[in-house]
Chains A and B, each alone.
Chain A
Amino acid sequence: MTRRAGLLLLAPALLLLLPVFLVPLVIIAETSIRGAGSLDSGWTLAAYRQILSSRYFLTALVRTFGLGLSIATLNTVLATPLAWWLIRNPRWKLPVTALVAAPLLVNVVARLEGWQLLLSDSGPVNAVLSALLPGGQPVLFLGSTLGVAIALLHIMLPYVVLALLAAMQAIDPTVLDAADTLARPGRVFWTVALPLSLPGLASGFLLAFTLASASFVIPAVIGGGRFNTFPTLIYQDMLALNTPRAAALAMCLLAALLPLAWAVRRTRNAAP
């Protein structure tokens, strides 16, 4: 496709992004170099200096990254067998997909209420655990990294499963038929299906990573205030009306996440 045609096709997207995304981005960038207090103070890098010299913030950044990566990885590992099973058993595709995607329908606060009660000391999960392993203390899910991971894993699953399903579904069935006659089912998966669905896998991974890293409600609520990621810190700064630092944190987060997005994108494009 010619470059001109390409730019023409990009036009609607640019028309949308320019006023509605680029402008806020510029405003956020500009806010990040303002002094805290009033909108008329001069430009300063104080917010950035504070962030980059603070052990607390750098730890939080690593924590945010770590959370995103581990959630994305775990989700991909969990979702892949599921998607493959559904491709092989198409009768169940719609019902199972509907069940896996159902969490998306529920308001985040309600969902977290569900988790709070499910994972509470006197809740069903701890009841089952104490029945299986009697004599122990209830596991403290809430207020811990474990609880946050479970809740995030839960809500990211639909994205990854659907991305994978879409990719695997696009595989030419005749290719799979041919492979089935030649190899055992396991090998079909590893040598044929997986490589062919790599773009979808990478898409799902990227989406899960992005959304998990950007999540602020789940860590704030399930984490009991103790699991501070960059998005939760940004929100707290906004509440304290410290918009310059909130903006600076956001810019730092963007700077850290963009390269990763670019890197995964390259994997995605290098399809067989």
Chain B
Amino acid sequence: MSHTGRWIGRIYVLAVAGFSVSPLLIVIVLSFGADDFVVFPPTGFSLRWYGALLRDGELARSLALSVEVAAAAAVIGLFAGVPAALALDRARLPGRGILQAIALSPLLLPEVLIGLALLQFILSTLETSPSFLTLVAAHAVLVFPFIVQFAGAALVGLNLEIEDAARTLGAHPGRLFAQVTLPAIAPSVAAGALFGFIFSFDNVAISLFLASPGATTLPVTLYERATYSNDPSLAAAAATLIYLGLGAAVLLRRFSGPAVPATVGQ
């Protein structure tokens, strides 16, 4: 690639990354604000909102709940989604296209209505209370499409010759899947699971309706607080999550060794 071409590439990537990060930078700046309310730029620098965060037991509890729910939902989503993606890709099922569209449909229905309808089902029909289990199940339904999508895309793009070769060498289906197919689609599935986790973690609408009494998830707590006050405590909470996430990314880099073997460069 030409010299200018390379620079255009770099500037472009920088611009896009900058675009992604810009509102987050604002949130981080706000979290260090000294005022009682949100104003940009802040008139002073202070750590008081982080201090308030540390003293906030309610927030810590809702964070723990969110992580638990998202993790459980991701696991269930994987167990339901990966086999489903396989079936939709490989099996001779009638109406495959329609089934695939249906697999996506939990994301097409407004979450507030899904949440409300499920609540009605639980309270009026099942005559029981919303619980951790029902919350996880509802979140899993939202995670499921992500996994199916990502796994499905990976399966479509697979080089089937490798599988054929393995099959002719005598590998039977279970082994074939575990040692050939699964590793090949693993990165995509992991990406789908990660998205599903984040989607569940961020979810307000479903959690608003299905959280059991006394237990709220983090985004609901933050949302409710935001509706009543515009102080920077929300910014501090959000900024903390950014630090945690980026910290996780740094750790990942450190522990995953060198990047995927580079393809031939310029």
Contact = CB atoms under 8 A, between A and B. Distances in A.
Given A81-B12, A96-B13, A107 B92 contact: no
A104 B108 CA distance: 19
Contacts, number: 324
15 contacts: A3-B92, A9-B84, A17-B106, A23-B121, A81-B12, A100-B17, A167-B157, A170-B157, A202-B153, A203-B152, A214-B108, A217-B204, A235-B110, A235-B112, A258-B101
A13 B154 contact: no
B87 A104 contact: no
A113 B150 contact: no
B54 interface: no
Nearest to A207: B149
Contact of A27 (B120, B144, B154): B120
A242 interface: no
Interface stretch (A41-49, A50-58, A86-94, A137-145): A86-94
B222 interface: yes
Contacts of A5: 87, 91
Given A31-B117, A107-B234, A162-B191, A214 B107 contact: yes
B211 interface: no
Interface residues of A, number: 109
A159 B204 CA distance: 19
Contacts of B154: 166-167, 170
Chain B interface size band reads 35 or more
A253 B103 CA distance: 16
A133 interface: no
A6 B95 CA distance: 13
A11 B80 CA distance: 8
B171 interface: no
B110 A118 contact: no
A74 to B, nearest CB: 12
B87 A262 contact: no
B110 A261 contact: no
